Amino acid sequence: MPTLRQIRYFLAIGAQGGFTPAAAALHVAQPALSRQMALLEDELGFSLFVREARGVSLTPAGRQFRDRVINIEQSLQTAIEDGRQMSRGEAGVLRLLHSSSLPLERLLPSIRQFHDRAPSARIDIDRLSSEQQLAEIAEGKADIGFIRLPVLRRTDDVAVRHLAAERLVVALPSRHPMAAAPTLTIADLAEERFVSAVHRERGGLARCVTDLCLKRGFVPRLGPAISRKTSMLTLVAAGFGIAVIPEGMQQLATAGIDFVPLSDEDAVAVSALVLPAAPLPLAELFALIAGGALGNAGQAAKTHVF
Protein backbone atom coordinates (compact mmCIF):
# COMPACT_ATOMS: atom_id res chain seq x y z
CA MET A 1 0.00 0.00 0.00
CA PRO A 2 1.48 3.41 -0.94
CA THR A 3 2.45 5.64 1.96
CA LEU A 4 1.23 9.20 2.40
CA ARG A 5 4.84 10.38 1.99
CA GLN A 6 5.15 8.63 -1.38
CA ILE A 7 1.89 10.18 -2.57
CA ARG A 8 3.03 13.61 -1.42
CA TYR A 9 6.32 13.15 -3.30
CA PHE A 10 4.50 11.95 -6.41
CA LEU A 11 2.18 14.96 -6.44
CA ALA A 12 5.10 17.34 -5.99
CA ILE A 13 6.95 15.83 -8.97
CA GLY A 14 3.85 16.12 -11.13
CA ALA A 15 3.29 19.73 -10.08
CA GLN A 16 6.95 20.74 -10.49
CA GLY A 17 7.48 18.86 -13.75
CA GLY A 18 10.66 17.11 -12.66
CA PHE A 19 12.54 15.36 -9.88
CA THR A 20 15.10 18.13 -9.34
CA PRO A 21 12.68 21.01 -8.67
CA ALA A 22 10.44 18.68 -6.62
CA ALA A 23 13.37 17.61 -4.45
CA ALA A 24 14.21 21.26 -3.81
CA ALA A 25 10.60 22.12 -2.94
CA LEU A 26 10.35 19.13 -0.61
CA HIS A 27 13.78 19.67 0.94
CA VAL A 28 14.84 16.08 0.28
CA ALA A 29 17.78 14.62 -1.62
CA GLN A 30 16.98 13.76 -5.23
CA PRO A 31 18.30 10.15 -4.93
CA ALA A 32 15.93 9.58 -1.99
CA LEU A 33 13.06 11.01 -4.02
CA SER A 34 13.90 8.79 -7.00
CA ARG A 35 14.11 5.74 -4.76
CA GLN A 36 10.68 6.41 -3.24
CA MET A 37 9.11 6.81 -6.68
CA ALA A 38 10.68 3.54 -7.85
CA LEU A 39 9.19 1.81 -4.81
CA LEU A 40 5.80 3.44 -5.49
CA GLU A 41 5.74 2.33 -9.13
CA ASP A 42 6.73 -1.16 -8.09
CA GLU A 43 3.91 -1.23 -5.52
CA LEU A 44 1.34 0.08 -8.01
CA GLY A 45 2.42 -2.14 -10.88
CA PHE A 46 2.46 0.60 -13.52
CA SER A 47 4.66 3.53 -14.59
CA LEU A 48 3.80 7.00 -13.37
CA PHE A 49 6.26 9.10 -15.36
CA VAL A 50 7.58 9.56 -18.84
CA ARG A 51 11.22 10.69 -18.61
CA GLU A 52 11.90 13.58 -21.01
CA ALA A 53 14.88 15.79 -21.77
CA ARG A 54 13.49 18.72 -19.81
CA GLY A 55 12.02 16.74 -16.95
CA VAL A 56 9.12 14.32 -16.64
CA SER A 57 5.46 14.14 -17.55
CA LEU A 58 2.77 11.85 -16.24
CA THR A 59 1.72 8.73 -18.08
CA PRO A 60 -2.04 8.32 -18.74
CA ALA A 61 -2.17 5.96 -15.76
CA GLY A 62 -0.17 8.49 -13.74
CA ARG A 63 -2.65 11.27 -14.58
CA GLN A 64 -5.57 9.12 -13.49
CA PHE A 65 -3.78 8.17 -10.29
CA ARG A 66 -3.03 11.85 -9.61
CA ASP A 67 -6.70 12.80 -10.09
CA ARG A 68 -7.77 10.15 -7.59
CA VAL A 69 -5.23 10.96 -4.86
CA ILE A 70 -4.76 14.71 -5.25
CA ASN A 71 -7.09 15.47 -2.32
CA ILE A 72 -6.13 12.52 -0.16
CA GLU A 73 -4.01 14.56 2.24
CA GLN A 74 -6.79 17.09 2.76
CA SER A 75 -9.30 14.28 3.21
CA LEU A 76 -7.06 12.66 5.78
CA GLN A 77 -6.63 15.94 7.65
CA THR A 78 -10.38 16.46 7.61
CA ALA A 79 -10.93 12.94 8.91
CA ILE A 80 -8.45 13.56 11.72
CA GLU A 81 -10.14 16.79 12.73
CA ASP A 82 -13.60 15.20 12.54
CA GLY A 83 -12.37 12.40 14.77
CA ARG A 84 -10.92 14.86 17.26
CA GLN A 85 -14.19 16.81 17.36
CA MET A 86 -16.19 13.62 17.84
CA SER A 87 -13.92 12.43 20.65
CA ARG A 88 -14.51 15.80 22.38
CA GLY A 89 -18.27 15.58 21.84
CA GLU A 90 -18.25 18.47 19.34
CA ALA A 91 -19.24 16.77 16.07
CA GLY A 92 -20.97 13.75 14.59
CA VAL A 93 -24.58 12.57 14.49
CA LEU A 94 -26.60 12.08 17.68
CA ARG A 95 -29.50 9.66 17.23
CA LEU A 96 -32.14 10.81 19.71
CA LEU A 97 -35.43 9.11 20.59
CA HIS A 98 -38.37 10.37 22.63
CA SER A 99 -41.77 9.04 23.65
CA SER A 100 -45.03 10.71 22.67
CA SER A 101 -45.67 11.72 26.29
CA LEU A 102 -42.31 13.52 26.30
CA PRO A 103 -43.02 15.72 23.26
CA LEU A 104 -40.25 17.28 21.25
CA GLU A 105 -41.33 20.72 22.46
CA ARG A 106 -40.04 19.80 25.93
CA LEU A 107 -36.61 19.01 24.46
CA LEU A 108 -36.24 22.09 22.24
CA PRO A 109 -34.39 24.21 24.85
CA SER A 110 -31.91 21.37 25.37
CA ILE A 111 -31.52 20.93 21.60
CA ARG A 112 -30.76 24.63 21.18
CA GLN A 113 -28.20 24.58 23.99
CA PHE A 114 -26.65 21.42 22.56
CA HIS A 115 -26.32 23.12 19.16
CA ASP A 116 -24.59 26.09 20.80
CA ARG A 117 -22.12 23.74 22.52
CA ALA A 118 -21.56 21.47 19.50
CA PRO A 119 -22.39 23.47 16.35
CA SER A 120 -20.79 20.87 14.07
CA ALA A 121 -23.02 18.07 15.37
CA ARG A 122 -26.38 17.03 13.95
CA ILE A 123 -29.31 15.47 15.80
CA ASP A 124 -31.42 12.78 14.12
CA ILE A 125 -34.73 12.65 16.03
CA ASP A 126 -37.40 9.95 16.07
CA ARG A 127 -40.40 9.13 18.27
CA LEU A 128 -40.78 5.64 19.70
CA SER A 129 -42.47 4.01 22.67
CA SER A 130 -40.42 3.69 25.84
CA GLU A 131 -40.03 -0.07 25.41
CA GLN A 132 -38.92 0.28 21.79
CA GLN A 133 -36.36 2.89 22.80
CA LEU A 134 -34.70 0.52 25.24
CA ALA A 135 -34.37 -2.10 22.51
CA GLU A 136 -33.01 0.38 19.94
CA ILE A 137 -30.39 1.74 22.32
CA ALA A 138 -29.37 -1.71 23.56
CA GLU A 139 -28.83 -2.77 19.92
CA GLY A 140 -26.74 0.32 19.12
CA LYS A 141 -29.33 1.82 16.76
CA ALA A 142 -29.77 4.99 18.83
CA ASP A 143 -27.58 7.03 21.19
CA ILE A 144 -29.97 8.53 23.75
CA GLY A 145 -33.66 8.25 24.56
CA PHE A 146 -36.29 9.93 26.72
CA ILE A 147 -38.86 7.57 28.16
CA ARG A 148 -41.78 7.39 30.58
CA LEU A 149 -41.60 4.92 33.41
CA PRO A 150 -42.44 2.20 34.17
CA VAL A 151 -40.85 -0.06 31.57
CA LEU A 152 -41.44 -3.79 31.41
CA ARG A 153 -38.29 -4.96 29.67
CA ARG A 154 -35.01 -5.37 31.49
CA THR A 155 -31.50 -5.08 30.07
CA ASP A 156 -28.12 -4.40 31.62
CA ASP A 157 -26.91 -2.91 28.32
CA VAL A 158 -28.78 0.35 28.94
CA ALA A 159 -28.27 2.88 31.75
CA VAL A 160 -31.31 4.82 32.96
CA ARG A 161 -31.11 8.22 34.64
CA HIS A 162 -34.28 9.39 36.34
CA LEU A 163 -35.54 12.90 35.64
CA ALA A 164 -37.78 15.01 37.84
CA ALA A 165 -41.34 13.73 38.29
CA GLU A 166 -44.23 15.71 36.79
CA ARG A 167 -47.64 16.20 38.29
CA LEU A 168 -50.52 14.63 36.40
CA VAL A 169 -53.53 16.58 35.21
CA VAL A 170 -56.86 15.56 33.69
CA ALA A 171 -57.62 16.72 30.16
CA LEU A 172 -61.38 17.20 29.76
CA PRO A 173 -63.62 18.48 26.98
CA SER A 174 -64.35 22.13 27.79
CA ARG A 175 -68.09 21.40 28.23
CA HIS A 176 -67.49 18.53 30.62
CA PRO A 177 -69.25 18.99 34.00
CA MET A 178 -65.95 18.54 35.89
CA ALA A 179 -63.99 21.00 33.73
CA ALA A 180 -64.65 23.84 36.16
CA ALA A 181 -63.45 21.93 39.24
CA PRO A 182 -60.33 23.41 40.93
CA THR A 183 -58.88 19.92 41.47
CA LEU A 184 -59.91 16.31 41.01
CA THR A 185 -58.83 12.95 42.40
CA ILE A 186 -58.17 9.80 40.44
CA ALA A 187 -61.16 8.21 42.16
CA ASP A 188 -63.37 10.93 40.64
CA LEU A 189 -62.59 9.45 37.19
CA ALA A 190 -63.96 5.96 37.84
CA GLU A 191 -67.05 6.47 35.66
CA GLU A 192 -65.30 8.43 32.91
CA ARG A 193 -64.23 7.10 29.54
CA PHE A 194 -60.52 7.28 28.75
CA VAL A 195 -59.20 7.93 25.23
CA SER A 196 -55.95 6.07 25.99
CA ALA A 197 -55.32 2.43 26.87
CA VAL A 198 -52.41 0.43 28.20
CA HIS A 199 -50.61 -1.88 25.77
CA ARG A 200 -50.11 -5.35 27.25
CA GLU A 201 -46.43 -5.42 26.20
CA ARG A 202 -45.51 -1.82 27.02
CA GLY A 203 -45.04 0.43 30.00
CA GLY A 204 -44.97 4.21 29.79
CA LEU A 205 -47.65 6.78 30.60
CA ALA A 206 -50.69 4.60 29.88
CA ARG A 207 -49.47 1.92 32.28
CA CYS A 208 -48.65 4.53 34.91
CA VAL A 209 -52.20 5.89 34.72
CA THR A 210 -53.76 2.42 34.67
CA ASP A 211 -51.76 1.40 37.76
CA LEU A 212 -53.00 4.49 39.61
CA CYS A 213 -56.59 3.63 38.70
CA LEU A 214 -56.17 0.01 39.78
CA LYS A 215 -54.93 1.20 43.18
CA ARG A 216 -58.31 2.96 43.54
CA GLY A 217 -60.18 -0.20 42.67
CA PHE A 218 -61.27 0.43 39.10
CA VAL A 219 -60.13 -0.31 35.58
CA PRO A 220 -60.20 2.70 33.21
CA ARG A 221 -63.22 2.52 30.92
CA LEU A 222 -62.34 3.00 27.26
CA GLY A 223 -63.92 5.62 25.07
CA PRO A 224 -65.24 4.88 21.57
CA ALA A 225 -61.94 6.07 20.09
CA ILE A 226 -58.51 5.71 21.71
CA SER A 227 -54.89 6.62 20.98
CA ARG A 228 -51.57 5.97 22.69
CA LYS A 229 -50.01 9.03 21.07
CA THR A 230 -50.40 12.77 21.52
CA SER A 231 -53.43 12.56 19.23
CA MET A 232 -55.33 11.53 22.39
CA LEU A 233 -55.71 15.26 23.06
CA THR A 234 -57.46 15.70 19.72
CA LEU A 235 -59.90 12.98 20.80
CA VAL A 236 -60.51 14.76 24.10
CA ALA A 237 -61.26 18.03 22.32
CA ALA A 238 -63.70 16.16 20.07
CA GLY A 239 -65.59 14.85 23.11
CA PHE A 240 -64.62 11.16 22.92
CA GLY A 241 -63.47 11.03 26.55
CA ILE A 242 -60.81 12.21 28.98
CA ALA A 243 -57.07 11.66 29.36
CA VAL A 244 -54.64 11.82 32.26
CA ILE A 245 -51.40 13.41 31.14
CA PRO A 246 -48.24 14.99 32.60
CA GLU A 247 -48.58 18.74 33.02
CA GLY A 248 -45.81 19.24 30.46
CA MET A 249 -48.10 17.96 27.70
CA GLN A 250 -50.56 20.81 28.20
CA GLN A 251 -48.64 22.90 25.68
CA LEU A 252 -49.80 20.49 22.95
CA ALA A 253 -53.48 21.16 23.62
CA THR A 254 -55.86 22.42 20.97
CA ALA A 255 -58.97 24.48 21.56
CA GLY A 256 -61.79 22.75 23.39
CA ILE A 257 -59.79 21.23 26.27
CA ASP A 258 -59.62 22.23 29.93
CA PHE A 259 -57.01 20.90 32.34
CA VAL A 260 -57.69 20.15 36.00
CA PRO A 261 -54.88 19.18 38.40
CA LEU A 262 -55.04 15.88 40.26
CA SER A 263 -54.63 16.31 44.01
CA ASP A 264 -53.57 12.71 44.78
CA GLU A 265 -50.08 12.64 46.26
CA ASP A 266 -49.01 9.82 43.95
CA ALA A 267 -50.49 11.38 40.80
CA VAL A 268 -47.11 11.87 39.18
CA ALA A 269 -45.36 10.61 36.06
CA VAL A 270 -41.65 9.85 36.16
CA SER A 271 -39.52 10.27 33.07
CA ALA A 272 -35.96 9.16 32.44
CA LEU A 273 -33.20 9.44 29.89
CA VAL A 274 -31.57 6.25 28.66
CA LEU A 275 -28.06 5.74 27.36
CA PRO A 276 -25.93 2.81 26.20
CA ALA A 277 -23.66 1.34 28.83
CA ALA A 278 -20.76 3.07 27.04
CA PRO A 279 -22.29 6.27 25.60
CA LEU A 280 -20.69 8.47 22.97
CA PRO A 281 -19.34 11.88 24.09
CA LEU A 282 -22.17 13.56 22.15
CA ALA A 283 -24.76 11.54 24.07
CA GLU A 284 -23.11 12.37 27.39
CA LEU A 285 -23.13 16.06 26.47
CA PHE A 286 -26.83 16.00 25.60
CA ALA A 287 -27.61 14.02 28.76
CA LEU A 288 -25.82 16.63 30.86
CA ILE A 289 -27.75 19.47 29.22
CA ALA A 290 -31.14 17.75 29.31
CA GLY A 291 -30.60 16.49 32.86
CA GLY A 292 -30.22 20.09 33.99
CA ALA A 293 -33.17 21.35 31.94
CA LEU A 294 -35.61 18.57 32.86
CA GLY A 295 -34.40 17.99 36.39
CA ASN A 296 -31.96 15.17 37.10
CA ALA A 297 -33.55 13.20 39.92
CA GLY A 298 -30.59 10.99 40.76
CA GLN A 299 -27.57 9.07 39.61
CA ALA A 300 -27.56 6.63 36.72
CA ALA A 301 -29.32 3.34 37.43
CA LYS A 302 -29.54 0.08 35.52
CA THR A 303 -32.94 -0.91 34.24
CA HIS A 304 -33.03 -3.98 36.46
CA VAL A 305 -33.54 -1.84 39.54
CA PHE A 306 -37.09 -0.91 38.54
Q: Provide CATH code, domain 166-269.
A: 3.40.190.10
pLDDT the model gives residue 91 = 66
140 C-beta neighbours (distance < 10 Å), count? 10
- Tell whether the model's pLDDT for residue 140 goes beyond 80: yes
pLDDT the model gives residue 304 = 37
Q: Provide CATH code, domain 89-162+273-305.
A: 3.40.190.10
Domain boundaries, the chain: 4-70, 89-162+273-305, 166-269
The pLDDT confidence band at residue 297, using thresholds 50, 70 and 90, is: low
User: What is the mean predicted confidence (pLDDT) over 140-167?
Assistant: 90
pLDDT per residue as tens digits for the range 66-88: 999 988 887 877 677 667 766 66
DSSP states of 120-186: EEEEEEEE--HHHHHHHHHTTS-SEEEEES------TTEEEEEE--EEEEEEEETTSTTTT-S-B-G
Strands 257-261 and 120-127: unpaired
pLDDT the model gives residue 264 = 97
User: What is the mean predicted confidence (pLDDT) over 92-115?
Assistant: 92
| CB-neighbour burial class of residue 119 (10 A; exposed 0-12, middle 13-18, buried 19+) | exposed
pLDDT per residue as tens digits for the range 39-66: 999 999 999 999 887 889 999 999 999 9
The pLDDT confidence band at residue 296, using thresholds 50, 70 and 90, is: low
pLDDT the model gives residue 305 = 35
User: What is the mean predicted confidence (pLDDT) over 143-168?
Assistant: 90
Global confidence as pTM: 0.68
pLDDT the model gives residue 143 = 95
Does the fold of domain 89-162+273-305 match that of domain 4-70? no
Please state, for a pLDDT cut of 90, what percent of the chain lies above it.
69
Pick the CATH number of 4-70 from 3.40.718.10, 1.10.10.10, 3.40.50.300, 1.10.260.40: 1.10.10.10
Helix-strand-coil percent breakdown of the chain, rounded to 5? 40, 25, 35
